[in-house]
Structure 1
Amino acid sequence: MDPADAAALAARLEPLHSMIYFVPEVGEELAPAGITRDRDQYFAQRSAPMGAVGPGVVAATFFNFNPALVARSVPMVWAQAAPADVVNARLRAADAALRRLLDDQVSSRAVTEAGELVRRACDGATGEDRPLYAAHADLPWPEEPHLALWHGVTLLREHRGDAHLHALLSAGLSGIEALVTHTATGRGFTVAFAQRSRGWSPEQWSDASAGLTERGLLDAGGTERSGADAPEAGHRGLTETGVALRAEIEDHTTRMSLGPWRHLGAEGTARLREVAAPLSKAVLPAFAVEGVFAPRSPRASSS
């Protein structure tokens, strides 16, 4: 299995999972249970498979959120709704959102085939040192093909995400430093959204940036790259050393995430890439939220 192919397929599948963090159907399902704020809904729906865990566990497994922000939501959300109820609400939201976004494709042979291929890939995933993946893997597989596809893609995303945290820690980056270097690539979240949604103040961001500059990872003096990969105006870009570190982080992540793709095999992986492409494209309107993403990046979960 070519690691580059595996990384590309993970990126292609990502929107099919992460649309759940942007669709209104989640709020429609969780608000009646008393979980009304977007932030609380995010923490609740993603951590619910782990049970009624405390803020320390959520901050550790989500990694790039300010622990103080997490503590303002967890464990309060569990006083509003039991984790099992949140899991069920999330699945109902995924059902409604996929029916809306995929439209006629939701009952297509492509969805069924993609779901079958993803499930085969998941048979090659392991849970060692992957707490978020392991928690989600304990959930039963939905019967309806489009929900089986979503569940399987979610497992693959959390499997890779847990590996990504290992790579970030191995690179010596804290949660906020991971976020700063990620936004400095000019891909993914905008700086303003990253600070707001992850709970980091401009002062904390500035301090983290200063430390990364001292390590030679960020350009000093606000020097910026040009072109499609340029960071936002007024924010430092990565140095060559920083670019190399981010590349090694992605390579490390991919190396630790090859199990599912090796299990699926080259032929199955190529077929999944083919059938998933139009499905991933169909859900992209869910990410059309102004001020959230830098150009060219609908991927919500990397850091």
Structure 2
Amino acid sequence: MAIHPARRIWTTLEPLHDVVYFGSGVKEAGTAVGLRGYWQTYFAFRAAPLGAVGPAAVLATFAGFHRSMVTRALPDAWARATPEACLTARSAIATELLRGAGAGAAECARAVELLAPVQRAADPTGRPLFAANAALPLPADPVAALWQLATALREHRGDGHVAALVGAGVTGRQALVLQAAAGKTPVSVIRPARGVSEREWADAVDELRAAGLVSGEPDGPTLTGSGAALLQRVEQVTDEAAWNGALAALPSDAATELTTSLAPLVEAVQREIVPAVSPVGLRRE
């Protein structure tokens, strides 16, 4: 089956964005502006474009995180660091990490030239994380600008994915189970990374088992035929929404140029920074 062009572009942009989650020095960048530890840095850095929002907005937009995990970070983070300080810090560390992985000014500037019009033309309807990131001024540094564009368009897809899950009647926690059941991320990785207890995870598995979507035990669920079909529909809706809502503005030859020219940087990031197994669930091709 041919890979949807929106998915191909996502597999290029997602690893570039992900350096701010997995790169060396990210936690230190957060603590340097006053934040406390890795997870407070994660929530504050990612939520910063929205302003000093509380747990409710993050739970709704990030999807899948346990409430207690978010409330340990917010709103306390905003008493320690302003959203503006977090935006500056996350851009600086992401740029440093990409440059360390070999990002060059010329290829990044060309990618920015291709992606900036896509961001401007993208439909923000129902996409709060995208809209907030897209409203930020684009940095003059081409490496920093590429990271910001990759981030905005990644969040555009993510907002659409959450909408597709909601439309399919899947909760955030159930989506985590389906991801594990599909073999994208092991239970041992995704469950603690989202703050879900063993009991809560087992309850979600029971819900999906009763619906005929998964089989097996909580520590190793597998998709049924119906579950695989549902997940495929969700991914198709996500791809189409990402394409029709934004990426279709990129001509096919430009899309090929983008993915080809950035391939060496993406490979370096995946080799040096982003782990092969992570909660993101992006399979390496």
Quote the residue 2:114 is aligned against: 117
Pick from 221, 225, 237: which aligns with 1:240?
225
Rounded Cα–Cα distance in structure 1 between residues aligned with 2:209 and 2:259: 39
CA drift of 1:295 comes to 9.4
The answer on 1:193 being equivalent to 2:189 is: yes
Measure, in 2, the Cα distance between the counterparts of 1:244 and 1:297: 19
CA RMSD, Structure 1 to Structure 2 (Å): 2.1
Q: 1:282 aligned to 2:278? A: no
Please give the alpha-carbon distance, in whole angstroms, between the structure 1 residues aligned to 2:45 and 2:99.
Answer: 19
TM-score by length of 1: 0.88
Partner of 1:173: 170
Which residue is 2:210 aligned to? Answer: 214
Q: Give the Cα separation in 2 of the matches to 1:127 and 1:8.
A: 21
Unaligned runs of 5+ in 1: 223-232
Q: Of the candidates 251, 255, 270, which is equivalent to residue 236 of structure 2? A: 251
**Counterpart Cα distance in 2 of 1:30 and 1:39:** 10
- Structure 2 distance, partners of 1:277, 1:59, is 33
Mapped to 2, the partners of 1:286 and 1:240 lie a distance apart of 35
Is the 8 Å Cα contact of residues 195 and 205 (structure 1) preserved in structure 2? Answer: yes
Contact 2:190-2:279 within 8 A present in 1 as well: no
Which amino acid counterpart does residue 251 of structure 1 have in structure 2? Answer: Q
CA distance in 2, matches of 1:115, 1:170: 33
Question: What secondary structure, in the 3-state scheme, does the structure 2 residue paired with 1:203 have?
Answer: helix
The offset of 1:118, in angstroms, is 1.6
Give the one of 254, 269, 272 matched to 2:255.
Answer: 269
Aligned AA for 1:243? A
Are residues 69 and 45 of structure 1, via their aligned partners in 2, closer, same or farther at CA, if it must alter by over 3 Å? Answer: same
Which amino acid letter does the alignment assign opposite residue 179 of structure 1? L
- Please report how far the alpha carbon of residue 32 of structure 1 lies from its aligned counterpart in structure 2 after TM superposition: 2.1
2:152 to 152, 155, 161: 155
Report the equivalent of 2:68.
68
Indicate conservation of the 8 Å contact 1:30/1:89, yes or no.
Answer: yes
Count of equivalent residues: 282
Contact 1:52 1:75 in 2 (8 A): yes
Give the unaligned 5+ runs of structure 2. none
Q: Paired residue for 2:94?
A: 94
Return structure 1 stretches of 4+ with deviation > 2 angstroms. Answer: 291-299
2:180 and 2:221 in contact (8 A); partners too: no
SS at match of 1:123: helix
TM-superposed CA distance for 1:296, in Å, is: 7.5
Alpha carbons 1:123, 1:263 under 8 Å: kept = no
- Once the two structures are aligned, what percentage of the paired residues are identical? 36
Aligned partners of 1:254 and 1:56: how far apart in 2? Answer: 27
8 A contact 2:30–2:37 mirrored in 1: no
Match of 1:106 among 91, 96, 104: 104
SS of equivalent to 2:173: helix
Secondary structure, aligned partner of 2:214: coil
Deviation readout 1:230-269 (Å, 9 max, x if unpaired): xxx9411000111111110011111111132211121211
Determine helix, strand or coil for the equivalent of 2:222.
coil
